[in-house]
Amino acid sequence: MADTVDVQVILNDGYHYIVRLLGESDSTGESGVKKIDISALSRQDNGEVPLALDLCSVNWAVSTGESVKLSWDASADDEIVILAGTGEIDFRKYGGPLKDPRSATPVGDVLLTTIGAASTDTYNIVADFELRSENT
């Protein structure tokens, strides 16, 4: 058996990309699984693939005992957040979106890793990303 996972696109308007990430573990967990492929997106204003995806807000519910790490793909992945329990945060209240630092050969995809996943553990994450171009 394998983990049951799903990525649901809530909004893709060329400026924001909002996704709902769902998962139920069979205890094997996920490690560095690509959840958002930046090369498949395009900005509304210029039609180009965005330079980066910056995290505006995230809302989550993760089973007790499990945590979920989101990272930006790079040669040495850049950690975005580690989520446990339930919560929400809007980074725009603290000076703007959490920006992809684009370090060490950046790819920009969003990766997910579960930590401590046991059988039937679940996660439900809604993340709002802003598509950044070179000019913004």
Q: Read off the pLDDT of residues 83-113 as tens digits, 9 standing for 90 and up.
A: 999 999 999 999 999 999 999 899 999 999 9
**Once rounded to an integer, what is the mean pLDDT over residues 68-80?**
96
Angle, CA 73 vertex, CA 96 and CA 60 arms, to 5°: 55
The pLDDT, as a whole number, for residue 83 is 98
Range of the domain at 122: 4-132
Q: List C-alpha distances in Å: 107 to 25, 29, 32, 104, 116.
A: 27, 23, 13, 9, 27
- Residue 95: which residues within 8 A CB-CB, separation 6 or more? none
- Tell me: pLDDT of 62 over 90: yes
Give the least confident one: 1-5, 21-25, 127-131. 1-5
- Tell me: pLDDT of 44 over 90: no
Q: Return d(Cα 75, Cα 77) in angstroms, integer.
A: 6
Backbone angles phi, psi at 39, to 5 degrees: -70, -15
Q: How many domains does the chain have?
A: 1
CATH number at residue 71: 2.60.120
**Which candidate, 43, 5, 21, places its Cα nearest to that of 128?**
21
